[in-house]
Amino acid sequence: MATDRSFERGDVVKVNENVFYYGGKTGTVQAVNIQNVVVRLQGGTSTPRNLCFRRWELHHVETAPGEAAKVGGR
């Protein structure tokens, strides 16, 4: 498989550019189920909100080669 589609809570992800309105935005994974990933988007003018995306609409933000970024857990 060319891209890693496994997401975990706390992963920092970016919405693919081709997704309407939210393309290019970055967020943190809040929850994952079989088809969907719930992401809390960062920044912007509105309050951060949890939004549901399909797995293929997201990709990990790379911090180092082959290593996905993590946000401190609670």
The tens-digit pLDDT sequence of the chain (74 residues) is: 334 568 999 999 999 999 999 999 999 999 999 889 999 998 666 677 899 999 999 999 876 555 555 555 44
pLDDT at 49: 83
- Tell me the CATH class for 12-68: mainly beta
Closest CA to 42 of 25, 59, 19: 25
6 burial type by CB count under 10 A (0-12 exposed, 13-18 middle, 19+ buried): exposed
